[in-house]
A and B are shown apart, each in its own frame.
Chain A
């Protein structure tokens, strides 16, 4: 939490860390969205058992 905490990028300033971290999180959200929530039938069928096993809302 403090300035000298070990992080994956302490050399960077706090401000310049925000964007790449947000981009990484966004990438993760997009991946989860497609595989877990997309209504495309083909994606749904491929990930059907996984969606049920993760308790994602399904069909």
Chain B
């Protein structure tokens, strides 16, 4: 009856915490690189945003400018808002998925679940579609989104088969699922020629990967800590339902 409520509770607290940490890391590590890359926009296509106008592939320019936050505090506030909301979204998926496997027992156990989340949502899709900066060339947006989502699902399913099925056949199937998206290959732009310096992009790839690793470790550990405390407070019983 209250399983849903309990999952939402644990996810809300851990997602909020991880989202706040994510915000701080972005402001420090990734947003400065994004702003630097935006100075190359116009030199090589790409899109503009915010006050600059909106002419991305997602919405072909029609002379109409969509709303965008002003640079500075307003822009970072929206980044914080989206980080926290999406952090709770990722937490819901992580907590719900882990409950199927018996739940995250404690914060240390949560670190392992966090690593899994990092592998599924950052590492696997990032192999074919490395973190991209504004002004960089990219293949069709929908094609990339389809590949990204497909890779996440295949990697998650593959990891689950390896972790929660004891037969060697399932382990082989799991590895095949993890490898398959990379054999299919991610949609690539016609040319990788970019106005963004390779050095800047490299720094961005490293920053995004590390920031996401920490995000997932904080999320997993927080979910484990909140959940075990939640269960502990409910008395001798180890259940909340």
Residues of A within 8 A of B (CB): 1-2, 5-12, 17, 20-25, 27-32, 35-37, 39, 41-42, 44-50, 52-59
A41 to B57, CA, bound (A): 10
Asked whether B86 lies within 8 Å of A59 as measured between CB atoms, the reply is no
Can you offer 20 A-B residue contacts whose CB atoms are under 8 A? A5-B102, A6-B231, A8-B3, A8-B6, A8-B10, A9-B6, A10-B239, A10-B241, A23-B4, A24-B8, A31-B85, A31-B88, A39-B141, A41-B56, A45-B66, A52-B30, A53-B22, A53-B30, A53-B34, A55-B212
* Overall SS of chain A's interface: helix
Query: What is the total number of residues of chain B having a CB less than 8 Å from a CB of chain A?
Result: 79
- Say yes or no: is B108 at the interface (Cβ < 8 Å to chain A): no
- B162 located at the interface, meaning its Cβ lies under 8 Å from any Cβ of chain A in the complex: no
Say what secondary structure dominates the interface of chain B.
helix
* Alpha-carbon distance A1/B99, docked complex (angstroms): 9
Near A by CB (< 8 A), chain B positions 50-66 give 50, 54, 56-59, 66
- Distance from A22 Cβ to chain B, minimum over Cβ atoms (Å): 7
The closest CB in chain B to the CB of A47 belongs to: B82
Tell me whether A45 and B96 are in contact in the complex, defined as CB-CB below 8 angstroms, given that A5-B103, A37-B145 are known contacts: no
